[in-house]
A and B are shown apart, each in its own frame.
Chain A
Amino acid sequence: MRRIWEVVIGIAAGATAALCFAGTVTAQQKQVVIGGMCDRTGPTQVNGAGICPGIQDYFDLINSKGGIEGYKIKYEEIDHEYKVPPAVEAYEREKGDGATSILVYGSPQVQALNRKLEEDKIPGTSPGFGIAASADGKRFPYLFPVAATYWSQGAAAVQFVKDKLGGSLKGKKIAYLFYDNPAGREPIPVIEDLQKIEGFELRTFAVPPPAVEMGAQMLDITQRYRPDFVIDHLFGGGPSVAIKEFKRNGYPLSKVVALVWASGEHDIVGAGGWPVAEGYHTMSFAGVGDDYPVRDEIKAMYKAQGKEPPKAMDDTVMYNRGVLWAALHVEATRNAIKANDGKPPTGEEVKNGFEQIHDFGLGGLVPPLKVTAADHEGGGFVQIFQVKGGKFVKETDWFRAYPEVVAEAVKKAE
């Protein structure tokens, strides 16, 4: 059917018959199929533009080194513009092509595909977004929010604020500035739980989608509420605007900590450059910067092909997340093939492979993860950086905050 369409369109486009045949020939070899979704053209393209090339390059790197245990990776990336129906179509296609694991991009897409993943026994990953409660591997057996869910991120932000404000939050004022959609509101329950424990004062400031107009909220925060610290959970074009607005209202950026999707280089550049954002704290679940052997290997791979490394590599925060994301799938698939004595793995076996992921490091790019059958998040580790003198300077090493509070929230979500 698809071939027929191809031929029809091919002729319509004036392609010759010879080209039609050339396009339909596919080589059969020992391979594993990994499906992926991406957003290079939709509302979160600022993230996708860095993450997606990172994923692609890491799979290419593994393939150039001989693949996973002799299996070449066939990575199918489908752009869905952050819309749900194209994501469903993409999923069905990847499933049809035999994908044994899928990188699901975007929280609404994770919601929409959660059930299908479970029905079809294909593990899906959503690092740093998606459903926070899916850290519970018993309730969500085929969903892996590896690295850090929004709940872990929220808890980590509170912990960081606590350390910054001298070890106690009693009577301190924290403002939570967020994108007013489900993903933006997700951390609130955990932050509210922590409010009860730590005794700080909390006010939330919602910015309605698309979250690039926040003058009123900013005046409220900086002139009236005057918090001791701001937790910034915006994404898309919002973080850059927020940095500018904080600056304009004279609020020190050193009292702002951003969650992971407001933490990229592009957010700083979009706000007007590094000097503007001086002091801004960012959070990451993958290593930041260029000093990782895997990045050197990717550059060497490009050099060997006689090409320049892609520009996307300069956006190290997002690019490295892409590498981490791809590496998780490679690790899980490797575990599955090993457990299977070299036979091609099924989705269920790759799922078990994910559950054996333990501290593979990748030269410090990956947090000290330990994914188990019960804990699909793998710990919830993040690092916090600060913008200082034109680059991200590491403030904390990998840490996890309030694991018992987060675990309690996961349990309560049932």
Chain B
Amino acid sequence: MFHRESGVFKTSYAADMALYPLPIARWAVAVFAGLFIVIAPLALGEYYISILNLVLIAVVGALGLNILVGYTGQISIGHGAFMSVGAYTAANLVTHLGAPFWITIPAGGIMAALIGAVVGIPSLRIKGIYLAIATLAAQLIIEWTINHVTWISGGVQASIQVPRPSLFGTQLKSQTQLYLFLMAFVVLAIVGTSNLIRSRIGRAFIAVRDQDIAAEIIGINIFRYKLWAFAISSFYAGVTGVLYTYYLGIANYEQFQITVSIDYLAMVIIGGLGSILGSILGAIFVTLLPILTRWFLEDYGWLLFAQQDLQNAIPNLRLILFGGLIIFFLVVEPEGLNRLWRNIRNYFRVWPFSY
């Protein structure tokens, strides 16, 4: 992340594909792990941890969507619905069978993966904007189904109360406990994605993205890998839905509507398609930006507005600022925050002798 070798000295494929290209990479990861797993929960107040929790949930979803959009080149506007599939699967398992979280989380993911694979079938014939519309249809169908089929949704209110997960006999209630719980899944998601991308399957995804006809010619089964991409990506989405359900203590389909799908798409595009760091940065950006702009406006808005108008001005200005900043970052670097970060790093790597 922060390091660069001074030249290419690799002599084997294994070295080229290593997770840690240099020893310093291992240290950087260790420092980050220490910072976020040990120091952050101790140092930060409950409110800040709760914001981080929202970020963590978004990271899992953004990573999953990036596998599909960034690495395989397929688009989905149905990820909000896949999250709701995971959420309701888990909620029903908990309320009817009393299943513990280590069953419901993979179960929610697998159910979402199955539905996602079915939704992915049109991707074999259609691409790009047409596929977007096909997945949009899936979003609407799933929303409608959950909204109307009461044995899934648990009644007219379409919401199911879920007890918080218990670990070693204690119920995870406080934000810090939930933070560590969610962090475990974020770590799994990051490690899982980075290993997936280095594997045979990941390389096949990238080949499909770059040129699917060429990929087919060199012997990649497009049918299989496109469906795999949809399934794996939806698995992440399903897990996101379950985590969200546990975090709030309720499964409610209104938390997974089409705007959520768009938000996640925004995360991977702003963060950078086809990069793990990009997914994380995008999730942080989209989740935190509205909060930061509000903090800023609350403290400095009085420079522009009278106190009584301020309450009305803040939410509206916030939307304008949020939209404006997204456009700004995309214009500055269309390939996303990840590329921006790499540009900065490359600049300082040779600084001050840039020639």
- B-binding residues in A (CB < 8 A): 1-2, 5-6, 9-10, 13, 15, 19, 23-24, 38, 40-41, 52-53, 56, 60, 77-79, 81, 83-86, 88-89, 92-93, 95-96, 107-108, 111-116, 119, 131, 180-182, 185-186, 188-189, 208, 307, 310
A6–B296 contact, CB under 8 A? yes
Q: Which residue of A lies closest to B303 (CB)?
A: A19
Assembly CA distance A208 to B147 (angstroms): 11
Smallest Cβ distance from A111 to chain B, in angstroms? 5
Smallest Cβ distance from A210 to chain B, in angstroms? 11
Of B254, B311, B318, the residue contacting A182 (CB under 8 A) is: B254
Smallest Cβ distance from B143 to chain A, in angstroms? 9
Of B48, B161, B248, B299, the residue contacting A88 (CB under 8 A) is: B248
Residues in A neighbouring B318, C-beta threshold 8 A: 41, 79
Residues in B neighbouring A115, C-beta threshold 8 A: 161, 248-250
Residues in B neighbouring A107, C-beta threshold 8 A: 254
- A89 and B51 in contact (CB under 8 A), knowing A2-B295, A112-B248? yes
B292–A9 contact, CB under 8 A? yes
B156–A86 contact, CB under 8 A? no
B159–A182 contact, CB under 8 A? yes
Interface centre among B51, B175, B255, B315 (most CB of A within 10 A): B315
Residues in B neighbouring A189, C-beta threshold 8 A: 156
A23–B299 contact, CB under 8 A? yes
Assembly CA distance A52 to B316 (angstroms): 14
Of A9, A53, A93, A186, the residue contacting B47 (CB under 8 A) is: A93
Per DSSP, chain B at the interface is helix
A41–B295 contact, CB under 8 A? no
Interface contacts (Cβ under 8 Å), in number, total 121
Contact digits for B291-330, partner A, Cβ 8 Å, 1 yes 0 no: 1101110011001000010011011101100000000000
10 contacts across the A-B interface (CB closer than 8 A): A41-B318, A84-B252, A85-B255, A108-B252, A180-B147, A185-B156, A186-B156, A188-B156, A208-B144, A310-B308
A182–B157 contact, CB under 8 A? yes
B145: interface (CB < 8 Å): no
Smallest Cβ distance from A108 to chain B, in angstroms? 4
A88–B252 contact, CB under 8 A? no
Per DSSP, chain A at the interface is helix
Smallest Cβ distance from A121 to chain B, in angstroms? 13
Residues in A neighbouring B166, C-beta threshold 8 A: none
B319–A41 contact, CB under 8 A? yes
Assembly CA distance A218 to B148 (angstroms): 21
A24–B299 contact, CB under 8 A? yes
Q: Other than the known A53-B311, A89-B54, what 11 A-B pairs have Cβ atoms closer than 8 Å?
A: A5-B295, A23-B300, A79-B314, A84-B248, A107-B254, A108-B252, A111-B159, A111-B252, A180-B147, A182-B157, A186-B157
Assembly CA distance A24 to B253 (angstroms): 39
Q: Which of B28-56 contact A (CB under 8 A)?
A: 44-48, 50-51, 54
B295–A111 contact, CB under 8 A? no
Residues in B neighbouring A60, C-beta threshold 8 A: 308
- A112 and B173 in contact (CB under 8 A), knowing A188-B156, A310-B308? no
Assembly CA distance A350 to B175 (angstroms): 24
Residues in A neighbouring B95, C-beta threshold 8 A: none
B249–A307 contact, CB under 8 A? no
Q: Which bucket holds chain B's interface residue count?
A: 35 or more
Residues in A neighbouring B290, C-beta threshold 8 A: 86
Residues in A neighbouring B308, C-beta threshold 8 A: 56, 60, 307, 310
A10–B296 contact, CB under 8 A? yes
A81–B315 contact, CB under 8 A? yes
Residues in B neighbouring A185, C-beta threshold 8 A: 156
Task: Pick the 7 closest A-B CB pairs, nearest first.
Answer: A79-B315, A115-B249, A92-B50, A96-B47, A23-B299, A108-B254, A84-B255
Residues in A neighbouring B50, C-beta threshold 8 A: 88-89, 92
B311–A88 contact, CB under 8 A? no
Residues in B neighbouring A208, C-beta threshold 8 A: 144
Q: Which of B141-160 contact A (CB under 8 A)?
A: 144, 147, 156-159
Of A13, A85, A95, A112, the residue contacting B54 (CB under 8 A) is: A85
- A78 and B294 in contact (CB under 8 A), knowing A24-B299, A115-B249, A115-B250? yes
A96–B319 contact, CB under 8 A? no
A89–B291 contact, CB under 8 A? yes
- A108 and B255 in contact (CB under 8 A), knowing A10-B296, A181-B147? yes
Residues in A neighbouring B295, C-beta threshold 8 A: 2, 5-6, 9
Assembly CA distance A185 to B148 (angstroms): 10
B287: interface (CB < 8 Å): yes
B259: interface (CB < 8 Å): yes
B250–A1 contact, CB under 8 A? no
- A13 and B300 in contact (CB under 8 A), knowing A2-B295, A5-B292, A79-B318? yes
Assembly CA distance A52 to B229 (angstroms): 45
Smallest Cβ distance from B308 to chain A, in angstroms? 7
Residues in B neighbouring A182, C-beta threshold 8 A: 147, 156-159, 252-254
A119–B255 contact, CB under 8 A? no
Assembly CA distance A108 to B254 (angstroms): 6
Residues in B neighbouring A111, C-beta threshold 8 A: 157, 159, 250, 252, 254
B299–A131 contact, CB under 8 A? no
Q: Which of B263-292 contact A (CB under 8 A)?
A: 287, 290-292
Residues in A neighbouring B311, C-beta threshold 8 A: 52-53, 56, 77
Q: Which residue of B lies closest to A133 (CB)?
A: B157
